Amino acid sequence: MSTLENGIRHSPAIHAPGERQITFSQAIHEAVSEEMARDERVFAIGEDIAVAGSVFKVFVGLFEKFGPERVIDSPISEAGIAGIGVGAAITGMRPIVDIMFCDFATLVMDQLINQAAKTHYMSGGKLTVPMVMRTTLGAGSRTAAQHSQSLHALFSHIPGLKVAIPATPYDAKGLMKSAIRDDNPVVIFEDRALFSQSGPVPEEEYTLPLGQADVKRTGDDITIVATSSMVYAALEAADRLAAAGISAELIDPRTTSPLDTETLIQSARKTSRALVVDEGYRRYGVTGEIASVIADGAFYYLDAPVRRIGAMDVPVPFSPAMEDLTIPNVDNVVETAKAMCGRE
Amino acid sequence: MNETNDTNPGAIELDAEHWLHAYEQMIRIRTFEEAANELYTSARMPGIAHLYIGEEAIAVGICEALRQDDYITSTHRGHGHCLAKGAELDRMFAELLGKEAGYCRGKGGSMHIADQETGNLGANGIVGGSAGIATGAGMSIKLRGTDQVSVCFFGDGALGQGLLYESMNMAQLWKLPVIYVCENNQYGEYTHNSKMAAGSMVGRATAFGVHAQAIDGQDIRTVHATARLVIERARKGGGPAFLVCDTYRFHGHHVGDIDRPYRTRDEEAEWAKRDPVNLLEAWLVESKQAETEVFERIQQDVKAAVDDAVAFALEASFPSESEVERHVYA
Ligand SMILES: Cc1ncc(C[n+]2csc(CCOP(=O)(O)OP(=O)(O)O)c2C)c(N)n1
Ligand SMILES: [Mg+2]
């Protein structure tokens, strides 16, 4: 699927004509379904994921296909199902633990951070925890502070965990399949706002490596690094920047851990400017790490300090009048990029 | 006092005026919720809301036994608790619409209404998330040496959360004045509790030695009588109690859950026969404490008040931009 351009891997544009188009939600569904068919050790557990097909309808039909032993409705016991995931993974299964909102992933922190992430290391490599925790992120749906966070930075901080944060259906499917096959605990964050987003996904089987960024668009003047739904904001921004004569390169890291530092640095060296956009809280966020990687690796090539845009450092407010102010948007990206290119 | 039904609703003698007040509170909740649903379906309310219709006897039955300075913690399905504890309609609606005049200045919305003046420590978007808070309030009451009590409302789905059990254990160890009220409306989202909760519900509390009872949550007289006993007991240092109130949410899990494929229309019809409002009406009429006209008048008055409150909220202004960064820290 990928071509090489300037030494940077390049996947097809987000809307490639002629190819099969499916939604992000279908892509996740396909990935899980294919992996469950391929490997009988894979099972999924979570609240209302079986009979109801998950509250976001991503798993509709999976229960009918694989039955109650492999698609399991759990009580509202996040810590418990995460623990069951760890234990089952250590003893030969490949669980997918479904946590409806990443805000609720705070309830599984011990199981994930102290148990899953450390078991392989602490056991001197004897035990492995091949489990996936799939969860959702994103603000904008007026669900207030406890149902709107993007907490992927918290997990990216932890050695032993891998973290995927796909933006397109193509990436979602490929990363989910790799996550399931990976021998480590992998947390995959899906943006609820992207579930109905369509994109090209080939019929034939493929996986995507965890730890490989994707160049969503090539450009010369500035590198915009964006994750999850911010990829779409950045794409729109890139269009507007192009109209203003600024050629932006758009890079989606796709996984925050491992992070494809090579691609980020190469691109920043090429364009000499880098702007990082992510929907997590800005403070101590994913943008900070990425900006630092770029500053380190491309320092002598940069014409401007690396800039970053994140969610405001406030709990997400309910009122639409306030919530929208907290989320990075196309205008923020365009304005910052223009300023960085000396074009205010 | 384990698993015994040692309360006798008949033993509580209240005059008609008291019951009519309780009736009005139930009508207030129901009318509020109907208006909230209407605001949602007409796309005037952002986000979602979880309606309390059908469960009114629990919030009102319990809160009528509380003082203003007693505490409650509430849930995602919290409008009923807020109102029963004394919240005003207009500021509630304003919060639902994200307006500055709302109880939380538009920051919380439907799932997070808190009103310290009426002892409401807050609704909660995290299932079971308030079990610790209510117990901590009980701890504070004990340390401050007052005779307040703290009531923790939660759904049957919260029985899946470990925090509840850690909290109940400590409440019993230290005889904290906390009443754990499980609103057993049979479902957590789209799953029946028979698939979520193994074993006995009350047994979960009796295992800790916590006084526990399963009661009819549709009959406000039973709820209220039981509440009075366990609350009085807690005030006097008798320790926590756990009530499992059997009930049913008449609407979907949230305002957008219209089809309800996970339960049958027959089941809904059965529960509709036990509408808490109708049950109280029927008893008041039968015992000759009130006539139908009284109910109609109350309903009309409440409807007018609700209409006014909705109009107020629709008119009210949104918070200004500077509000976003206020209150992150105290
Ligand atoms: C910790 C946590 N897990 C999951 C959810 C999503 N969720 C919201 S309401 C709900 C069902 C709650 O059921 P119950 O406690 O019985 O309350 P009810 O809605 O029936 O009043 C779930 C699973 C949540 N809000 N918090
Ligand atoms: Mg319930």
At A68, which helix (H) or strand (E)?
A: none
With respect to residue B56, please indicate whether it lies within any of the assigned structural domains: yes
Pick the CATH number of A214-340 from 3.30.1490.20, 3.40.50.920, 3.40.309.10, 3.40.630.30: 3.40.50.920
For chain A, the average pLDDT equals 95
Residues of B in contact with A144 (CB under 8 A): 47, 107-109, 111-112, 125
At A56, which helix (H) or strand (E)?
A: none
Cβ–Cβ below 8 Å for B127 and A76: yes
**Alpha carbon distance B158, B163 (integer Å):** 9
Q: What is the domain-level CATH number for residue B308?
A: 3.40.50.970
Residues of B in contact with A79 (CB under 8 A): 162
Rounded average pLDDT over B11-24: 89
Rounded average pLDDT over A246-258: 98
Pick the CATH number of A12-200 from 3.30.70.2740, 3.30.43.10, 3.40.50.970, 3.50.50.60: 3.40.50.970
Residues of B in contact with A139 (CB under 8 A): none
Say if CB B65 and CB B47 are below 8 A apart.
no
Q: Which domain, by its residues, includes B234?
A: 16-314
| Ligand 1 centroid distance, CA of B76 (Å) | 7
Question: Which of A47, A75, A321 has the CB atom closest to B98's CB atom?
Answer: A321
**Alpha carbon distance A312, A317 (integer Å):** 11
Question: What are the tens digits of pLDDT across the range B201-229?
Answer: 999 999 999 999 999 999 999 999 999 99
With respect to residue B224, please indicate whether it lies within any of the assigned structural domains: yes
| pLDDT bracket for residue B7 (50, 70, 90) | very low
| pLDDT bracket for residue B11 (50, 70, 90) | low
> Measured between CB atoms, does A312 come within 8 Å of chain B?
yes
Give the pLDDT confidence score for residue A14 in this predicted structure. Answer: 57
The burial class, CB within 10 Å (0-12 / 13-18 / 19+), for B242 is: buried
Residue A1 scores a pLDDT above 60: no
Rounded average pLDDT over A210-231: 98
Residue B9 scores a pLDDT above 60: no
Find the closest chain A residue to B192 by CA distance: A75
Give the pLDDT confidence score for residue B14 in this predicted structure. Answer: 86
Sorted by sequence, the CB contacts under 8 Å of residue B330 that are 6+ apart come out as none
Tokens 């117990």, located at residue: B135
With respect to residue B319, please indicate whether it lies within any of the assigned structural domains: no
Encoding tokens for residue B239?
Answer: 């320790």
Total domains present in chain B: 1
**Alpha carbon distance B325, A72 (integer Å):** 41
Helix axis angle, A230-243 to A330-340, nearest 10°: 50
Give the pLDDT confidence score for residue A344 in this predicted structure. Answer: 74
Question: What are the tens digits of pLDDT across the range A15-70?
Answer: 555 689 999 999 999 999 999 999 999 999 999 999 999 999 999 999 999 999 99
Ligand closest to the CA atom of residue B154: 1
∠B191-B196-B199 over CA atoms, to 5°?
140
Give the pLDDT confidence score for residue A11 in this predicted structure. Answer: 52
Given the CA of residue B159, which atom of ligand 1 is nearest to it? 15
Q: By percentage, how much of chain A surpasses pLDDT 90? A: 94
Higher local confidence (pLDDT), B10 or B118: B118
Strands A307-311 and B187-188: unpaired
∠B248-B253-B258 over CA atoms, to 5°?
105
Cβ–Cβ below 8 Å for A80 and B162: yes
| pLDDT bracket for residue B180 (50, 70, 90) | very high
Say if CB A89 and CB A126 are below 8 A apart.
no
Strands (DSSP E) along A197-241, which ranges? 198-200, 214-217, 222-226
Encoding tokens for residue A101?
Answer: 């909102």
Cβ–Cβ below 8 Å for B160 and A76: yes
| pLDDT bracket for residue A253 (50, 70, 90) | very high
Residue A127 scores a pLDDT above 60: yes
Higher local confidence (pLDDT), B251 or A1: B251
Give the pLDDT confidence score for residue A343 in this predicted structure. Answer: 87
Say if CB B92 and CB B309 are below 8 A apart.
yes
∠A48-A49-A51 over CA atoms, to 5°?
75
**Alpha carbon distance A67, A42 (integer Å):** 12
Give the pLDDT confidence score for residue A337 in this predicted structure. Answer: 98
| Ligand 2 centroid distance, CA of B157 (Å) | 5
Residue A2 scores a pLDDT above 60: no
| Ligand 2 centroid distance, CA of A11 (Å) | 46
Q: Which residues pair with B213 in a beta bridge?
A: B243
Cβ–Cβ below 8 Å for B109 and A80: no
Q: By percentage, how much of chain B surpasses pLDDT 90? A: 95
Residue B189 scores a pLDDT above 80: yes
**Alpha carbon distance B133, B139 (integer Å):** 10
Which amino acids bring their CB within 6 angstroms of ligand 1?
A: A 47, 76, 78, 100, 104, 107; B 50, 76-77, 125-127, 155-158, 183, 185, 187-189, 253
Around Cβ B236, how many Cβ atoms within 10 Å?
10
Q: Is the ipTM of this complex over 0.90?
A: yes
Secondary structure in 3-state letters for B194-243: HHCCCCCHHHHHHCCCCEEEEEECCCHHHHHHHHHHHHHHHHCCCCCEEE
Q: Which of B300, B113, B304 is nearest to A145 (CA)?
A: B113
Strands A222-226 and A274-281: parallel
Rounded average pLDDT over A73-82: 98
Give the pLDDT confidence score for residue A5 in this predicted structure. Answer: 42
Pocket test for ligand 1, best of A76, A111, A151 (most atoms within 8 A of CB): A76
Question: Ramachandran region of residue B213, left (φ > 0), alpha (ψ -120 to 50) or beta?
Answer: beta
Peptide bond into A258 cis (omega under 30): yes
Helix axis angle, B16-41 to B56-63, nearest 10°: 140
Sorted by sequence, the CB contacts under 8 Å of residue B252 that are 6+ apart come out as B51, B258, B259, B260
Question: What are the tens digits of pLDDT across the range B146-177?
Answer: 999 999 999 999 999 999 999 999 999 999 99
With respect to residue B112, please indicate whether it lies within any of the assigned structural domains: yes
Encoding tokens for residue A102?
Answer: 């990443």
Q: Which of A3, A295, A326, A151 is nearest to B326 (CA)?
A: A326
With respect to residue B328, please indicate whether it lies within any of the assigned structural domains: no
Integer-rounded Cα Rg, in Å, for chain A is 20
Three-state DSSP state, A240: helix
Calculate the CA dihedral of residues B74, B80, B86, B90 and round it to 10 degrees. 110
| pLDDT bracket for residue B307 (50, 70, 90) | very high
Say if CB A180 and CB A28 are below 8 A apart.
no
With respect to residue B233, please indicate whether it lies within any of the assigned structural domains: yes
**Min distance A147 CA to chain B CA atoms (Å):** 7
Rounded average pLDDT over B268-276: 98
Cβ–Cβ below 8 Å for A51 and B262: yes
Residue A9 scores a pLDDT above 50: no
Say if CB A319 and CB A140 are below 8 A apart.
no
Question: What are the tens digits of pLDDT across the range B43-88?
Answer: 999 999 999 999 999 999 999 999 999 999 999 999 999 999 999 9
The residue contributing the CA closest to ligand 1 atom 7 is B127
With respect to residue B116, please indicate whether it lies within any of the assigned structural domains: yes
Say if CB A150 and CB A280 are below 8 A apart.
yes
With respect to residue B11, please indicate whether it lies within any of the assigned structural domains: no
Find the closest chain B residue to A100 by CA distance: B126
**Alpha carbon distance B224, B181 (integer Å):** 12
